[in-house]
Amino acid sequence: MSRPLVVVGGGSWGTALAIHATRRGGEVRLWVHDPLLAESIRAGRENRSYLPGHRIPANLTIDADLARCVAGAGVVVLAVPSHHLRGVVRSLTPQLDRDTDVLVGTKGIEADSLLRMSEVVHEESGIPDRHLAVLSGPSFAAEVAAGHPTAIVVAASDAGAGERMQRALSHSNLRLYRNPDVIGVEIGGALKNVVAIAAGILEGLDYGSNTAAALLTRGLHEITRLAVALGGQRETLAGLAGMGDLVLTCGGRLSRNRQVGVALGRGESLAAILARMKMVAEGVRTSGAAVDLAQRVGVEMPIAERVAAVLFRELAPRDAIADLLARELKDETPL
């Protein structure tokens, strides 16, 4: 009998992945941090707080006890917010079997350490590369839950780990591609959220398609430059985890990061925006960490720098655009 697949995190993304996993058959469990939310999901068979309108299948077990939930798991998928990842991994590691595969579905850069999410997991757990992979790519949770055709990426430095986790989640309308470039995939997944905030700001300022196209192109250039400086592969950022995710998050109506940007462009304060949001917009936290990481490795990231300044240093959105346009003229292509 196959071992359970466990999704850790009862937000929209974790719930959607768990719903999808049940379509493959076998035992699937979802860990939800809040016991009251867990009970609500069990009783109503719907996550009304984070993924309303999507039925929780009868064969999906909901549990608020982390140790019990991950016990005996064959695959554990981490789908918690980036600022909670370290603590959750610290708690669950003693419960994992030595051969449990861990798939990191969290996107971001840790604020204090400037580590990628897989680095946080490895530091806390010591899980070897042969059992560790990351998941990224263009995928709105609601559409995955609804079964819309979706293609994403599983990245692992160990080919065997990538293949096992690809098989564990690829089914029906969700197709996973393998990629050995963990760095490129993680940087693409983290930084696209920052550019998406910028894209929303442009919409809030009522700028048109010319401006959006320029932002998307130059944003990808920035992301690629940082990924390469850290050891990633340029071609990765031309694929699903780079351009694909960037197009989705910057242009899709379901993008929380883009929604934050739209509100900022229309003059709302960050505090007011976050106060009414139940779900996390990872780009807010990632923007400052991305700028710090870029400075550490000597990479210039003018878009990310302006986004962080709008978010945390009260730079007016129109002034941020003016700053970008006033930069020194240069060649387009050098990284």
Active site residues: 192
Residue 327's CB is within 10 A of a number of other CB atoms, namely 9
| Three-state secondary structure call for residue 177 | strand
Could you give the CA distance from residue 193 to residue 282 in angstroms, rounded to a whole number? 7
DSSP 8-state assignment for residue 244: I
Strand stretches in the chain, DSSP E: 5-8, 28-31, 46-47, 51-55, 60-63, 75-78, 101-104, 132-136, 150-155, 174-179
Q: How many Cβ atoms sit within 10 Å of the Cβ of residue 218?
A: 16
Q: Could you tell me which of 95, 127, 122, 110 has the C-alpha nearest to residue 6? A: 95
- The pair of three-digit structure tokens given for residue 167, joined into one six-digit string: 């098989």
